[in-house]
Amino acid sequence: MIGVGVIAVATIVVRRIGVLVFGLASMAGQLLGAVLLDTLTPGPRPSFATFVGVAITFLALVLAAHPCFRRSETVQEGS
C-alpha cells in the first residue's frame, strides 16, 4: 500500500514540477539521508569527496528548479 501511495504522489508531483526536478529532488533526499546516517552513526565517516558530490547534486537541483531555467510555455509541433 505504501508503494501505491508513493507512485500516486509521484505522478501528481511530476505533473507540477517535471521529471527532471522530481528525479533530482529524490536523489538529493536519498543522498542527504545516507550522508546523515553515515555521519551520525559509529563507523567510518564519509570523505570530503562525498560531501562535494552531495553539494553538486543540490546545486543541480536548485538550478533545474529555478524559474529562469524552466520553459513557461509548451512548444507546439510544427512551429
Residue 26 is assigned to a structural domain of this protein? yes
Structural domain boundaries enclosing 56: 12-69
Number of domains in the chain: 1
Residue 1 is assigned to a structural domain of this protein? no
pTM: 0.76
Residue 27 is assigned to a structural domain of this protein? yes
Residue 28 is assigned to a structural domain of this protein? yes
Using CB atoms within 10 Å of the CB of residue 49, give its burial: 0 to 12 exposed, 13 to 18 middle, 19+ buried: exposed
Nearest to 38 by CA among 54, 22, 56: 54
Q: What was the pLDDT predicted at 67?
A: 84
Query: Each residue of 32-42: pLDDT tens digit?
Result: 999 999 999 99
Q: What was the pLDDT predicted at 69?
A: 75
